[in-house]
Structure 1
Amino acid sequence: MNPDLYRDAAKGEIEPFNEIAKDELVSIATHEKNTVLHVNIASQQEGERVSTEFVEGILEMCPSLLLQVNDKGDTPLHVAAKCRHPAVVEVLIKFAKKQSRELESGVDWVRWMLLVENEEKNTALHEAVQSAAKGSVEMVAEILENCPSADHRGPDGLTTLHAAVICNAEDVIKLLLEKKKILTRERDRHGWTSLHHAAYLGHSNITSMMLKSEDDKIVALYKEDDRGMTALHLAASQGYERVVRRIIRHCPESYSIVDNRGWNARHFAMVSLRGGVLKSLLENPYVISLIHGRDKNGNTPLHVLAAAYRSDYRKVRESHLVVAALIATVAFAAVFTIPGGYKSDNGTAILRGNTAFQAFIISDTIAMVLSRSAVFIHFVLSFEVGGKAEIDSLVTAFISTMTSMGAMVIAFVTGTYAMLATSFGLAIITCFIGLTFFLLALCVMRRAFYIIE
């Protein structure tokens, strides 16, 4: 595309295009096969109320541009939906309806335009739904009103309702539930309904909306995916207490359903290791009996809890071991790259008489000894000691690692101070910044213990 024409299209100046023949106008495109319509629509700021004069004028000159796609498979309607331009969406649909009436060729331009998929397998309606999550529902309403029979399937078999749930677009969901309630029963390629997605993502308000809108709540809740998992199973496995409570309140019978492995809601709750969900299920009179329920392998929820705890315990040990080993390595290397360097004649430290340097050596030694001790404890724990001794050892290793981390910070601060003794102001500022680590660590630890409680 000629650079001048590109700029004119982006600015919405239609005069330069009036003298271009229709056949030539079709062939004007960028390297990405964007026509002047694509360029104009995409150049407007997202969500901005734009003028549609250029779009209307170009379509009158060359109607076929309405159905032209770029190399990503996007029609001008796709681009308008992505950029949240409801006024442009309305103009494009009205023009397509006009063409269908005037040509009388039997081709429904509106339906074709709404059914075409881009390379991501999204229709214009899917793009409109995703954009509506940012605050523009008008486009979705416009498309549904003009083509209520449009194919609502997208990538992975996702319907527009699936997409709206994933984007947490509550206003769009309300609209779809009013006009397309049947979509609540549609599954994606994994067998998930939109309620499955809402439960898995922890969207409690959307879950309530969908439960209230469903005429047959039992059918909606009992609809299982390819693995036999219901929305309640997914919410419990992710630890979403509020969603679990709302599902059980709307349909108490759903607690007894098991998946293909024989897992009930309590099995899934144990996997999440979330205290709130476990408490909710323990307090619920309908669910108490599930604690003794066995899956096909004979495992009760308590067996699953033990396995989940052991798995998480191993991950904690591995992460602690990595941190301790890293501190030990740095502390060991710091001794041989000491601040100030060595004397060339006898190899002793130049700053050995400096108080700050002496503090550096002591704190670095503490860091190395404690971190090495933590590494050794983790090595011993690899033999599956078990029992209270294992827990006590893990706590000891944790305290050693945390203390060595603090000692490393002190070593850095004192070593820096020793080197910057002649620049007192800079030394103080550096020490102050370094010591803020302890304030940050205190805040993080308090927050962590608050969450645990």
Structure 2
Amino acid sequence: MTSTMNYMKSVLYDAVTNDDNNALAAMQASDLEDQRTPTNSTILHLACQYGSINCVQHILMNHSSLLLKTNSRGETALHLAAKQGQLDVVQELVSTATASMTVQNLMRSADEDLETALHGAVRYNRRAVVELLVVTDPSYPHPQNKYKETPLYLASIRYYTDIITTILVNCNWPNIISGSAGGGTDLHAICGGPEGRTALHAVVLDYRNHGGHECVQRLLDWNIGLLKEVDDYGWTVFHYAAHNDLHTIVELIIGLLVADEDKYVAYHKDKMYGRTPLHIAAYTGNVDVMKTFVKHFPDCWEITDGSGRNILHIAVEEDRKDRRPAEWEVDWEVLDSNNYTPLDVLHLEQETHTLANQLLVRTSLIKANVRKHWWLWRTLREPNADSGKRIVKHTEITNNIEIEEHRKAINTHMVVSALIATVAFSVLFNVPGGFDGSKGSPVLLRKTDFAYFIILDALALMLSVASLLLYFFTSSNKDASQVKRIVRNTAALNFLAICSMMVAFVEGTSVMLADKSTLGAGVNLLILFFVIGATPVYIYNLRGEVRSRTLLPASNSV
């Protein structure tokens, strides 16, 4: 079988990777240019990758045609040297290319990912190599790779402040403009990224934002116009900073807004939902960012999003009880797209909140200087007060739907209660050890464990019957909160009945088996593990049920 895969002579490979220039010089020159590794790399690729400077000099002197040769990934030797940070090797390559008038071809050569050598040097944080490359070809914008990333974007998303500075100081792109119209250098061609983002967007993409302040400062010192750039979703840098709770970044950027006409970016709405940065901060509950925006742009809270909601609507809907802007003069009368005011939303929230949550909501809003709205004050002070026909009707719908949901659970619970009662009742006529034929009494009647068995079985029967009786009371009850309370109590009775049956089983096993039986001890241990494991699970689920609430979709029809 004939193989088509390339391979390099082992002697040549060792000489190049070990920078053995004497061994390389002793080899037949005519054969060296045709040698390839399995990835189609030449001896120059190999020497640059390993930093074999002596071999690089020898190869460039005698085989300069290899300078622009690419491997199977489309990489030149410069790509590999730049990634590895081999500064002396990069200098040799650039010098040779400059002398042969091919320096621009080498610098601008892109691999299969459309990346130049500068992309690789930035990605691997090779600052000295980056400086050499941008000084050599300062006017080239180094366009986006196949992932839409420019070198400046790659440096920004990694917070490489030194590299950002190096690129911006040494490059001299002419007439930088936003967009491609009118000639000049497109801003996105220099610092663009995926989904229409810029290098400034990249700095604030991560909520951890380690070292992002210097990057933001450097980018805006270079071009304040980056603040006005929006991505494909209509998000400015303010939107991302608000989403990721970067209030110190927001403060920094606001401090750089000198001209009043630049401040409109703080009010800019995104494309999809019509949300400003303040809306984004309200949705994510980032109170520090909210305070920063309102401090510097006191009228920004007046803006409603694409659904007609202001920040109070959002705060109530998103359950931000501890983050509501209680000290701000918000508009209590504004209607959203569902024709609800913030008070309406609050009332709907109360329908499905626990008492503790309702108190937190009312306390937050009472602090908001709402006494001048007498009707609002009354509603907040009286939890059951209605605030309009629209809410009364919604309350009835909510109540009926909740009752139906609880009754679905009741059907399952009743089956469990009935099974427990049936088993507990039948056990009394099929006791462990059977009955004495002559007397009609249980054979093991005088054993203490047998007495415990009967008591626990009777307890399980009583608990399950009590649970069934409570279920019957729900059939005529029209109050969702009372039905929910009954369901919770009967579930507890069922759980106790099951535990009682399990302990009764332990006592029955002890009666039937010999004292200190290994089998009996094993059974007892298994039951003990079950009870211990089931109890915290039940308590956890019970707490989750207490905290849970049903959120109905808003409808204009109600």
TM-score scaled by length of structure 2:
0.57
1:236 & 1:85 partners in 2: Cα distance? 40
2:199 is matched with 124
Distance 1:130 1:258, change over 3 A: same
Residue in structure 2 matched with residue 14 of structure 1 by the alignment: 87
- Seen in structure 2, the aligned counterparts of structure 1 residues 411 and 15 have a Cα distance that, compared at 3 Å, is farther
Q: Is the 8 A contact 2:110 2:117 kept in 1?
A: yes
Query: How far apart are 1:398 and its partner, in Å?
Result: 3.1
Counterpart among 191, 194, 214 of residue 277 in structure 2: 194
1:386 corresponds to: 478
383, 388, 395: which one aligns with 2:488: 395
Match status 1:95 vs 2:170: yes
Distance 1:427 1:19, change over 3 A: farther
The CA deviation at 1:235 is: 0.9
Distance 1:314 1:10, change over 3 A: farther
1:213 aligns with one of 293, 296, 299: 296
Deviations 1:183-228 (A, max 9, x none): 22111122211111222222222212111111xx3x4222122222
Alpha-carbon distance between aligned partners in 1 of 2:213 and 2:523, rounded to the nearest angstrom:
56
Q: 2:309 is aligned with what amino acid?
A: M
Give the superposed CA RMSD. Answer: 5.2
Instruction: Quickly say closer, same or farther: Cα 1:294–1:424, change in 2 above 3 A.
Output: closer
Out of 339, 342, 349, the residue aligned to residue 262 of structure 1 is: 339
**1:389/1:147 CA distance change after superposition, 3 Å:** closer
Aligned to 1:72: 147
For residues 120 and 505 of structure 2, the distance between their equivalents in structure 1, rounded to whole angstroms, comes to 56
Residue matched to 1:144: 220
Distance of 1:35 and 1:411 partners within structure 2: 77
CA contact (8 A) 1:327 1:405 kept: no
Distance 1:70 1:279, change over 3 A: same
Superposed CA deviations along residues 229-288 of structure 1, whole A, max 9, x for unmatched, are 111111122222343343xx2215x22222244311111123434422134335741455
Identity %: 16
**Residue in 1 aligned with 2:329?**
251
Corresponding position of 2:243:
166
Distance change (3 Å), C-alpha of 1:428 and 1:299: same
Q: Give 1:369-384 correspondences, 5 Å limit.
A: none
**What is the aligned counterpart of 2:161 among 57, 79, 86?**
86
8 Å CA contact retained: 1:239, 1:269: no
Q: Does the alignment pair 1:29 with 2:121?
A: no
Does the 8 Å CA contact 1:100/1:108 hold for their aligned counterparts?
Answer: yes
By how many angstroms is 1:84 displaced? 2.0
Query: Where does residue 122 of structure 2 map in the other structure?
Result: 41
User: Residue 365 of structure 2 corresponds to which residue in structure 1?
Assistant: 281
Once the two structures are TM-superposed, the CA of residue 58 in structure 1 deviates from its matched residue by: 2.6
Q: Distance in 2 between matches of 1:152 and 1:25?
A: 29
Contact map agreement 1:69 1:75 (CA 8 A) in 2 = yes
Q: Secondary structure in 2 aligned to 1:19? A: helix
- 2:170 and 2:501 map into 1 onto residues whose CA distance is 70
Q: Give the Å deviation of 1:304.
A: 4.2
Match of 1:233 among 306, 313, 316: 313
Contact kept, 8 Å, 1:270 with 1:308, in 2: the verdict is no
Residue number in structure 2 paired with 1:176: 253
Name the structure 2 match of 1:346: none
In the TM superposition, residue 59 of structure 1 has moved relative to its aligned partner by 2.6
Distance in 2 of aligned mates of 1:152 and 1:278: 41
Q: Aligned in 2, Cα 1:395/1:67: closer, same or farther, shift over 3 Å?
A: same
Equivalent position SS for 1:168: coil
Tell me: CA distance 1:266–1:132, structure 2 relative to 1, closer, same or farther (3 Å): closer
Q: Is the 8 A contact 1:185 1:220 kept in 2?
A: yes
Deviations 1:58-85 (A, max 9, x none): 3334557752322110111221122221
Which has the larger helix fraction? 1
Aligned to 2:269, the other structure's residue is in SS state: coil
Q: Distance in 1 between matches of 2:339 and 2:89?
A: 70
Q: Which residue of 1 aligns with 2:127?
A: 52
Q: 1:410 to 1:197 in 2, by over 3 A?
A: farther
1:88: how far off? 1.6
Taking structure 1 as reference, are residues 13 and 450 closer, same or farther at Cα in structure 2, changes over 3 Å only? same
> How far apart, CA to CA, are the structure 1 residues paired with 2:537 and 2:307?
44
Conservation of the 8 A alpha-carbon contact between 2:243 and 2:286: no
Q: Which moved more, 1:205-214 or 1:19-28?
A: 19-28
Tell me the CA shift for residue 178 of structure 1.
Answer: 1.9
Task: Report the Cα offset of residue 156 of structure 1.
Answer: 1.8
SS in 2 for 1:156: coil
Larger radius of gyration: 2
Provide the secondary structure at the position in 1 that maps to 2:204. helix
TM superposition shift of 1:29: 2.3
Contact 1:413 1:434 in 2 (8 A): no
CA distance in 1, matches of 2:80, 2:503: 60
1:299 maps onto 2:383 in alignment: no
Distance 2:240 2:525 in 1: 55
Q: Distance in 2 between matches of 1:92 and 1:410?
A: 76
Secondary structure, in 3 states, of the residue corresponding to 1:92?
A: helix
1:108 and 1:445 map into 2 onto residues whose CA distance is: 63
Structure 1 counterpart of 2:169, which letter?
K
Quick one: structure 1 residues 186 and 384, their matched pair in 2 at CA, closer, same or farther if it must change by over 3 Å? farther
1:126 Cα deviation after fit: 0.9
Give, in angstroms, the shift of residue 40 of structure 1. 3.5
Q: 1:164 to 1:76 in 2, by over 3 A?
A: same
> Does the CA-based 8 Å contact 2:197-2:232 persist in structure 1?
yes
Q: What's the secondary structure of 1:157's corresponding residue?
A: coil
- Uncovered stretches (5+) of structure 1, i.e. residues with no partner: 44-49, 332-354
Aligned partner of 2:280: which letter?
H
Give the unaligned 5+ runs of structure 2.
Answer: 1-38, 50-78, 98-102, 176-181, 258-262, 351-356, 380-384, 421-448, 508-512, 550-558
For 1:141 and 1:174, locate their aligned partners in 2 and report how far apart those are by CA, in whole Å. 12
In structure 2, how many angstroms separate the alpha carbons of the residues matched to 1:325 and 1:63? 80
For residues 416 and 145 of structure 2, the distance between their equivalents in structure 1, rounded to whole angstroms, comes to: 54
1:237 and 1:271 in contact (8 A); partners too:
no
- In 2 relative to 1, CA 436–261 (structure 1 residues): closer, same or farther, beyond 3 Å? closer
Verify the 8 A CA contact 1:185 1:193 in the aligned structure 2: yes
| Secondary structure, counterpart of 2:196 in structure 1 | coil
| Cα separation, 1, equivalents of 2:82 and 2:501 | 61
